[in-house]
Amino acid sequence: MQKSVLLNELAKLFDQPHSAKFFLEDCGFNLTRLRPPFGEMTAYEYWYYIAREVDSGTLAGGYNVLIRKGLERYPHNQELAAMLAENTRITENNGAGQEGPYDVFISCNSKDGAVVECIVNGLIKEVRVWYYKNDVAPSTAIVNALDRILNEVEVTLVLLGKNGKGAWQDMEIAMAVDQHTRKKMAILPVVLPGATIDDLPLSLRQFSGIVFGSSTVEAVVQEITGALKKGKKH
């Protein structure tokens, strides 16, 4: 991500004190403590000032929060969508923070966030993971990024829970099945708590999967990791 591109986009979208204030509060900034002097700066200078605060660790989640919250308000913004596609992947541990190739693509519904995060945080200790934290509106930039990543990974892990399919999952599953047909990319469905095997789309029922059931997250992560290490034949 080029910081200057993000700052320029934020300066265009939030170029007035009141809109910037509400946006930053939504992102989690404590403006009572910060008090940036918007009226004495151009919009870009103001966002450059905010970027210095982000760099100092003031905002938990950093620039990803600004990108995701910006997309919630402007879901068709191409610049933010492109930055999200490049920047919202799990990077905390081991190989997950390295540039590709990635091993696993995670397809999930963001409404199942808590259990999904636990599974992903367990997996990134073992494999390189590509993972979206948010559902966002479709855009050409993100579709192209998904196509590139799905062409690269060895496995797509499809997580389905009580909230059903997320906004992106129909497309992700279709693209994954196409990659399986063309290059035998493995697909591993995982049925989360609150769902059953019958909730899987018909296109996924041909693949062996894992049912969470009453298992612990640690047990499920271990089972998933074991399946990935077994030649990824699911």
What is the model's pLDDT at position 89?
46
Provide the pLDDT for residue 212.
87
Q: What is the pLDDT of residue 158?
A: 95
pLDDT number for residue 72: 86
Q: Which residue has the tokens 């191409």?
A: 78
Residue 225: partners with Cβ closer than 8 Å, 6 or more residues away: 122, 123, 126, 127
C-alpha dist (Å) from residue 111 to 117, 159, 231: 11, 11, 31
Break the chain into its structural domains and give their ranges.
Answer: 3-86, 89-229
Task: Walk along the chain (234 residues) in steps of 10 and give the mean pLDDT of each run.
Answer: 82 90 86 64 85 79 83 85 64 41 86 86 84 58 75 91 86 91 91 91 91 84 83 47
Say whether 92 sits in a helix, a strand or coil: coil
Beta-ladder partners of 90? none
Domain 89-229, architecture per CATH:
3-Layer(aba) Sandwich (3.40)
pLDDT at residue number 13: 95
Residue 93 sits at φ, ψ, to 5 deg, of -130, 145
